[in-house]
Structure 1
C-alpha cells in the first residue's frame, strides 16, 4: 500500500514537473521573440505607471490621448513645413497615451522614468537644483551626487549639435525643448552613464532640466528620445546596439509590454513583413514609411503619393530605388491620423461595413462610435505599406471610451490639406515592431504582446 502511494506521488510529482517544464519552454519561446537588452514598457493606464494620476478613470487616458494626438499632429505638420519655432503644441505629455520606460542614470544609478518616444530626440529628465519644476513623487536626479556626471564643453561639436540655446555667460551649454502650450524644459547639456536593464553606457548626452513646467502634470520625469536624429539615444548608442530596437505594445493595462535594443533585437520568422524606412533630412527625427493603399473590408483606396517601387531584396532589408515617405510611425502619438480624403474613405467604408447604427459620443470627441451591446463585427483595416501589408490592430482600432461605447481610433488630420499620415501606437499594438536603421527597414510581426 505504501509503495502504491509512493508510486502515485512520484507520478504526480513527475507530471507536475513536466507541466512546469512545458510552461517554462512556452515562455522561453515567447521571450526568444524579443532579444537584446530588454526593458519593460508600462501601459499609459497601468496602475504601475508613475505618470498616471490616481483619480483618473479607466477611460480618462484615451480621451486625453485624442486631444493630445491632434495637438501632436499639428506640431508635426508645422515641423514638416519648415517651422522650427516653439509656438506649436505637441502631445509629449505624461497624460498623452505614451508607453513609459524605466531606466537609470548616474553613478551610483538613480532610477527614473520617461515616455518612450520615437518622435523625439533629446532624452531629458528633471534635475536638481530646480528653479521651476513640476511635481514628481520620484526622486529628482541630483548631478552633484553622481561621480560620472560631466557638463558638455561649450567649444565642443557635441554642444553645437545638441544645444538649442547655445552657451550662456557662465559657459554652460544649454538646451531648450518647448511644446507651444507653455510646457517646456530648459537646462544644461551633459554627459552621464545611462543604464538600460543590466547594461551601462558611458558618456551618453542628455538634457538635465532645471526649469520645467507648463502642462506637465502628476509624477512626470521626462522623455526618452528614440527618434532618428543624432541627439537620440538610438544614434548615440549606434556602435553598441547596431541601429536596432524592437518593441511589442500590449493593449492590456495590467500586462507589461517590452522594448529591446541591440544587434539581436530583430524581427524574423513566419508572418514578419518589412517595409523601407525612409530618412528625410529635415526634420530628421521622424521615421517615415510609404503608404500605398488602404483597404477596409472589400473596399480599397490608393493613396496619392510619390511613385515607389521595390527593385529587389537584399540580405538584412528591402532594397529601395524610389520611395518617398508619406506616413510617420510614431510611438508617442496614440491614435492614427489620416489626411482628410483618406480619412473620409476609411470612415465611410467602416460605417458601411457595420450593420449597427452609430451613436453619438457623449463628449463629442470621437466621430464614429457604436454601442458595445450590439453584436458588432468590425471590418479588417489593412495599411498597404511598400512591401508590407499590415492589418491595423483589431484591439486598437475600436476602443471603449466610456462604459458600453466603442469608438474608431482612426481620425482625421487636424490640418486641412495635410497629406501626411501618422501611424499611432494603438494601430500597432499586438505587433512586434522592429527598427533596423542599418538595413533601413521597419518590420511588423503579429504577436500577443501581453505574454512577453
Structure 2
C-alpha cells in the first residue's frame, strides 16, 4: 500500500472504500449500482426499463449451464462463465498509477478480476474508456515463472515469446477473454493496494452486450480480491442489495463487514476442492406460508463448513449462492410445488408471460399480496423479500423470480432472493450470515 506517514497508514487501513465520501472505522465500503439504474454504465439507454430482467432470465440459465459444465467436466480452474451485464451489481474501482477509473460486476461466482486493455486486438464495445497499461507507472506483466502466474493457474493460457504469463477465460456461450496476467495498484475509494494480480484482456469477444469493462472476483480461491487483500480484510466482506434501481446498494470489506445483531442468522458454506470458487449452502427446504417443500441434499463436500471456535463437521451443500446470477434456480419438482402452493395462497388469477419465459405471473392491477416465502438453510431461516420474489417483467405484468431447473442439474441462490438483506461472508469461519436490512440506509 502506498504510504506517506504513519497517520496515513492508519487512515487507509481503517477507512471505508466509498463512492459517497463516507468514512467510518474498521472497514471498507463501496457503492454497488443496480443493473437497471440510470447510473449503471452497463445499462443500454436505448432499451426499456424491463429489458434487464428479460436478459437476466437468459443469462441465469446460460450461467447455470456453464457452472455445471465446470463442476462436472473437471475444466481448468481459470475458466469462468461471467457475463458483464444482465442483472449484476456494478462496482466502481480504479487500476494503475495514476488511478484509471473503471467498473466491474461484483461477483461471488468468479475469482479473477479482469478488465479490457489496450491494445485491443479484439475488444467488445464499451462506453467507458479502455485501460491503457502504458499510462500506468505501477503496471507490470507477470513472467511465466512468477508467483502471480502460479496464482491464476499455469495450466490455462500460455507463455508468450516475451515470457509474459497469458490467461484465457472460456465462457459457456463461446465468449472469451484472453490477455496478460499482470499486477498493478488497485484503488477503491481513498485506499490503494499495490501489486494486485488481475487480467489485462486484449482479446475479448462473444455475447458481451453491455458497456462493462470486466468483473471483480469475490470467489473463494486465492486469486480473488478477498483472498489477495486478506491481510487487510481478514476474509470478510458483506453486501446489501436493494431491489430498487433508484436506491443505493453497498459492499463492505474487513471488520466493518462483520454481520451480527438482532435478526442475523448464519449458515455454513462448503467448498469443492476441485472448484474452490463457489460458496455452497445447504438449502433444506422452501416454505410458502405453512407449507414446506424439501430439497434433495445432492452434493457433499470434502471441505466442511465451519463456525468460529468449532471443530470441522460434515456439511452438505446443494445450492450455490451467487451475487452475479439474478434469478434463483431450483429443482423443477420443488418449483412445481412452490408454484402450486402460491397459486392457492394468492387470490388473483395467474396470467401468461407473453414471451413464455417466466412460469408464474400476475397482472399488476390485481395488487397481489405475496405470502411469506422462507428459504430454510441449515441453521438459518431467510424470509425472502416480496420486492425480490416478484418483479415487473413488462408493463402490467409481475412474475415470480424463482425459476425451475428443467435440464441443467444445478441450483443457484441469485441476487434477487438476497435483496433487502445484509449478506456477510466470513471465509475464516466459513459462514454466510443474513440480516434483514433496509439497504438504502445501510
Normalised by the length of structure 2, the TM-score is: 0.89
Provide closer, same or farther for how the CA distance between residues 415 and 327 of structure 1 changes in structure 2, counting only shifts above 3 A: same
Report SS of the residue matched to 2:440. Answer: helix
Counterpart for residue 196 of structure 2: 204
SS in 2 for 1:263: helix
Distance 1:198 1:318, change over 3 A: farther
TM-superposed CA distance for 1:415, in Å, is: 2.1
Gapped runs of 5+ residues in structure 2? 1-21
Structure 1, unaligned stretches of length 5 or more? 1-30
Q: Does 2:30 correspond to 1:39?
A: yes
Of 173-182 and 329-338, more deviation after overlay is shown by 173-182
**Contact 1:89/1:181 (CA < 8 Å) preserved in 2?**
no
Alignment-derived partner of residue 177 in structure 1: 169
1:253-264 maps to which residues of 2 (within 5 A)? Answer: 253-264=245-256
Asked if the contact 2:32–2:91 (Cα under 8 Å) also holds between the matched residues in 1, the reply is yes
- Of residues 438-447 and 153-162 in structure 1, the stretch that sits farther from structure 2 once superposed is 153-162
| Among candidates 236, 242, 252, match of residue 234 of structure 2 | 242
SS in 2 for 1:65: helix
- Corresponding residue pairs, total: 414
| Aligned partners of 1:295 and 1:382 also within 8 Å | yes
The verdict on how the C-alpha distance between 1:269 and 1:359 changes in structure 2, with shifts beyond 3 A counting, is same
Judge conservation of contact 1:34–1:260 (CA < 8 Å) in 2: no
Per-residue CA deviation, residues 166-198 of structure 1 (Å, 9 max, x unaligned), is 312221100011213232111000011101221
Matched, 1:142 2:132: yes
Q: Take 1:32 and 1:397, find their aligned partners in 2: how far apart are those partners?
A: 33
Pairing 1:105–2:95 present: yes
**Aligned residue runs from structure 1 range 309-320, under 5 A:** 316=308
Cα distance in structure 1, aligned partners of 2:282 and 2:147: 34
What corresponds to 1:395 in structure 2?
A: 387
Q: Relative to structure 1, is the Cα distance of residues 125 and 295 closer, same or farther in structure 2, using a 3 angstrom cutoff?
A: same
One of 77, 89, 93 as aligned partner of 2:68: 77
Task: Write out per-residue CA displacement over residues 20-76 of structure 1, whole angstroms, 9 at most, x where no aligned residue.
Answer: xxxxxxxxxxx9999611101000000100111011111000010001001111111
Distance 1:134 1:272 in 2: 42
Aligned to 1:5: none
Aligned-residue RMSD, C-alpha: 2.3
Deviation of 1:204 (Å): 0.5
Quick check: 1:300 aligned with 2:261?
no
Q: Residues 330 and 318 from structure 1, CA distance in 2 versus in 1: closer, same or farther, beyond 3 angstroms?
A: farther
* 1:290–1:385 CA contact under 8 A, matched in 2: yes
The structure whose Rg is larger is 1
Q: Residues 80 and 169 of structure 2 are in contact (CA less than 8 Å); yes or no, is this contact kept in structure 1?
A: no
Measure the CA separation in 2 of the matches of 1:307 and 1:429.
26
2:350 matched to which residue of 1? 358
- Secondary structure of 1:80's partner? helix
Give the 3 Å change call, closer, same or farther, for CA 34–117 of structure 1 in structure 2: farther
Secondary structure at 1:211 match in 2:
strand
Per-residue deviation, 1:222: 0.4
Residues 1:389 and 1:112: Cα distance change in structure 2 (over 3 Å): same
**Structure 1 length-normalised TM:** 0.87
SS at match of 1:254: coil
Q: Is the contact between residue 306 and residue 429 of structure 2 (CA under 8 Å) also seen in structure 1?
A: no
Task: Report deviation, 1:320.
Answer: 5.4
Match of 2:4 in 1: none
Question: How far apart are 1:135 and its partner, in Å?
Answer: 1.8
Q: Taking structure 1 as reference, are residues 293 and 190 closer, same or farther at Cα in structure 2, changes over 3 Å only?
A: same
Match of 1:219 among 208, 211, 225: 211
Q: Partners in 1 of 2:290 and 2:50 — Cα distance? A: 32
Is the CA contact (8 Å cut-off) linking 2:63 and 2:172 kept in structure 1? no
1:94 positional shift:
3.1
Q: What is the 5 A alignment of 1:303-342?
A: 303-305=295-297, 316=308, 321-342=313-334
Structure 1 residue 238 displacement after superposition: 1.0
1:166 has 2:155 as partner: no
2-structure distance, mates of 1:130, 1:402: 37
The Cα shift of 1:156 comes to: 2.0
* SS of match in other structure, 1:98: coil
Q: Compare 213-222 and 113-122 and name the one that shifted more.
A: 213-222
Structure 2 CA distance for aligned equivalents of residues 243 and 124 of structure 1: 20
Structure 2 residue 419 is matched with structure 1 residue 429: yes
Partner of residue 280 from structure 2, selected from 288, 291, 300: 288
